[in-house]
Amino acid sequence: MLFIMCISGVYMTLDSYKVFFTVAKEGQFSKAATVLYLSQPAVSQSVKQLEGQLGCVLFNRTAKGVELTYEGDLLFGHLKKAFEHIEAAELAVIAAKNLEVGEIKIGASDSVCSHYLLDHLQTFKDKFPEIKVHVYNKTSSEVRSMLKSGEVEIGFVNMPLDGQDGLEVIDVMPLQDCFVHHPEFSSDLKGEKDLSQLAGYPLVVLEKGTNMRRFFDSIMHGHQVDYTADYELGSADLVVKFAIKKFGIAFVTREFCESEIASGALDIIRLKEEIPKRSIGMVTVKGKKLSSAAKEFYQQCLDGKAKH
């Protein structure tokens, strides 16, 4: 039951105003009782209580029913606007629930946007054209911060992700990283190589501060291999392009450059050491309910997980 405090400091229920409003519309207590599925004495008592709480008479009784007093007419005019707003609010909520309107705020890293998220966004846009989708292209660490601050509802990041406290992460696409080079870059890269051998070549990697770079560093340090990064770039796509232009050996995600490998523009270096698999993670805040639109998009990505 919703209570509203009047200027007098007295709390009244919204139902009291609804009864008054219906009596004013119908012009009779008996008709209002029928509309509201209440007894006529209950309707009369509700109006009497409202008049007492407001300290004025709201209706004049006539032979045909009731008519509004000056004060009653003032109240009716304001309530008419209020109930119209309430009805509009209810319709807006229903429309959002039915995905006729709404918005989603999503955060995603550059490579995830290009190679995973874009197709899902297109599918969702085609299905729900009235839903506004806001995408914030940030690093995985920045996406994590935006989730925790409430700036986005869903995040898509390169795993592994540090600082997962309070977050729920679901792997939606497996990833396998590898070293690649242009076929004409060096003839010495045929056959199986180890990490220490690759460290002697010009290396093209992502810049520091990215999840991919942290992962690369952990692999090299884990095998006690010292290296110097000759080219530290800001996007995964640039790393691929530098390799194609024969600048050096690039550490890339295979799923993000399948077409270049298939076309022969890049060769994968066979490595003695095993590079652990990673994934793209879909991240939300634990215990926080998603909007109807975000929930639908979340489910779409879950359904698409089986395809990878």
Same domain, 144 and 11: no
CA 164, distance to chain mean position in Å, is 17
Same domain, 74 and 211: no
Residues whose CB falls within 8 Å of the CB of residue 164, separated by 6 or more in sequence, listed in order: 144
Same domain, 29 and 59: yes
Same domain, 23 and 156: no
pLDDT value at 11 more than 60:
no
Same domain, 139 and 184: no
Amino acid at site 41: P
Same domain, 158 and 31: no
So what's the pLDDT on residue 256? 93
What's the structural domain count of the chain? 3
Q: Which residue has the higher pLDDT, 273 or 87?
A: 273
Spatial distance between the Cα atoms of 246 and 196, rounded to a whole number of angstroms: 20
Query: What secondary structure does DSSP assign to 107-143, as a single string?
Result: EE-HHHIIIIIHHHHHHHHHH-TTSEEEEEE--HHHH
Proportion of the chain above pLDDT 90, given as a percent: 72
Tokens of 224: 């006690």
Same domain, 198 and 269: yes
Same domain, 29 and 111: no
Looking at the chain, how many residues does it have?
308
Picking from 36, 67, 97, the residue at the C-terminal end of a domain is 97
Same domain, 235 and 187: yes
Q: Which residue in the block uniquely carries the two structure tokens 């909520």?
A: 93
Summarised one tens digit per residue, pLDDT across range 21-58 is: 999 999 999 999 999 999 999 999 999 999 998 889 99
Picking from 97, 116, 133, the residue at the C-terminal end of a domain is 97
Phi, psi angles (nearest 5°) of residue 26: -85, -25
Picking from 67, 97, 127, the residue at the C-terminal end of a domain is 97
Spatial distance between the Cα atoms of 52 and 151, rounded to a whole number of angstroms: 48
Give how far Cα 229 sits from Cα of 166, 214, 220, Å: 35, 13, 12
So what's the pLDDT on residue 286? 94
Instruction: Find out whether 204 and 230 touch, Cβ atoms under 8 Å.
Output: yes
Same domain, 143 and 288: yes
The CATH number linked to 75 is 1.10.10.10
pLDDT value at 2 more than 80:
no
Tokens of 122: 């297109």
The CATH number linked to 296 is 3.40.190.10
Range of 231's domain? 177-276
Same domain, 203 and 163: no
Of 4-18, 21-35, 238-252, 292-306, the one with minimum mean pLDDT is 4-18
Same domain, 165 and 289: yes
